[in-house]
Amino acid sequence: MSIYQTHLKNRQTQENKAVELIISLAKLAQQNVNVLFFGERVLLSVVDILAKHNEHGLDIADSLAFITELNVTDTTVDLGQALKLGKKASEFGNGVAIASTDVVLYGFGRIGRILARLLMSGAASDKGLQLKAIVVRPAGDGDLQKRGSLLERDSVHGWFDGSVEIDTENNGMIVNGRFIKVIYASDPSEIDYTAYGLDNVLVIDNTGKWKDEAGLGKHLESKGVKKVLLTAPAKGEIKNIVYGVNHHTIGKDTLVSAASCTTNAITPILKVLHDTYGIANGHMETIHAFTNDQNLVDNYHKSERRGRAAPLNMVMTSTGAASAVAKAIPELKGKLTGSAIRVPTPNVSLAILNLNFEKAVDSTDKLNAFIKAQADSEQWQQQIDYSDSSEAVSTDFVGSQKVAIFDAKATIATDNRATLYVWYDNEMGYSTQVIRVAEVMASNG
């Protein structure tokens, strides 16, 4: 048998085992078991499953044996971590079933549509967060079709992995077999969600229009609303939450902010660094993709510089991300400054952290090894990724569901100082964090 034939036969054997694994995973999904692979959701795809095993040097036969023996319900199991740590299926027990929670997306822009994709990507039998409606401003004829098309096609993230049908008669969309009502309103006070059969609703506000208790609280005055999650930094006493860092403080709060994409990208890494080395002070600069807030061509804008054409200019602007970190890590209050430059790319941004530490970090290699260990840990694997490629560029991270990708090749460290580079998909990575915060809010009743 030739080398080629041997490789082909081995590949076919692996593919057959991947099919068996997919069948087992599908059965677990019916038991409300969420199987992750080093913090990432496992796609029921032969190619994806084999790629994940090859990436981490794991044997698919071991995964199949583990999953076959797993007998649990209503829980999450990280298959990759279990194999890496040598755990047995018998060590895992049943979890607590999470009651289904009606979710309404108030606003359907960049973040709203990505949230919709994430919420609708699971099996129809999935429990937990249930996207039931979208609220947008009143519009003219053909609006439903345009909304559906924008969900289905995306210039940055590509085609939606599923089906989108327009239900004109019921003024909604059927996405992957599930109906989503489209509600037209100019203000939260106009809506009675119970009229649409919705109650105890979790509203995710993507408009950024209301950021304080008085404004965001309008949602709570709408009949049927129980809690509100803002996808922007909040003002006043509303908690700014970065999942993985301070989500345990949410409690029974009815108004919560998921902070900003940049705050979510830098806070987990700042947390692990501060806990180990102590951050004395520092400066954060974000090289940020342009957003819909900017103009396509030079025109009036209420903010300084943002009126200049976004696709043609690097635009210096402000960011509250550095100061917002202190809301998640109070010990860093007053220790960080921040600024931003918007650049002519549509997605994926880069945070540059210039930090002074209380303890010596010694060298670039030691600091990189420390971050690599955090990225591989079960505690931080969903937030922090690690890139060791000298060829990596921004488009490599489009679609990454890790909120921060540490670029090890760019690290500069000596004595008590370091300059670190952190990539982040400011749309997809941030949206995964929003979903996690929403799940905590739903679970807290």
**Residue 346: CB atoms within 10 Å:** 14
Listed residue (98, 170, 85) closest to 127, CA to CA: 98
Q: How far is CA 235 from CA 216, 220, 239, 320, 437, in A?
A: 10, 17, 9, 11, 18
Q: Contact 173/148 with Cβ under 8 angstroms?
A: yes
Q: Which residues contact 128 (CB under 8 A, 6 or more apart)?
A: 98, 100, 101, 439, 442
Q: Contact 97/127 with Cβ under 8 angstroms?
A: yes
Active-site annotation holder among 261, 287, 348, 435: 261
The maximal CA–CA distance of the chain, rounded, in angstroms, is 74
Q: Which residues contact 239 (CB under 8 A, 6 or more apart)?
A: 246, 249, 250, 253, 256, 257, 327
Which helix (H) or strand (E) covers residue 266, if one does?
A: helix 261-277
Any catalytic annotation for residue 261? yes
Length of the chain: 445
Q: How far apart are CA 142 and CA 138, in angstroms?
A: 12
Q: Which residues contact 85 (CB under 8 A, 6 or more apart)?
A: none
Q: What is the DSSP string of 16-49?
A: HHHHHHHHHHHHHHHTTEEEEETTEEPPS-HHHH
Q: What residues are annotated to the active site?
A: 261
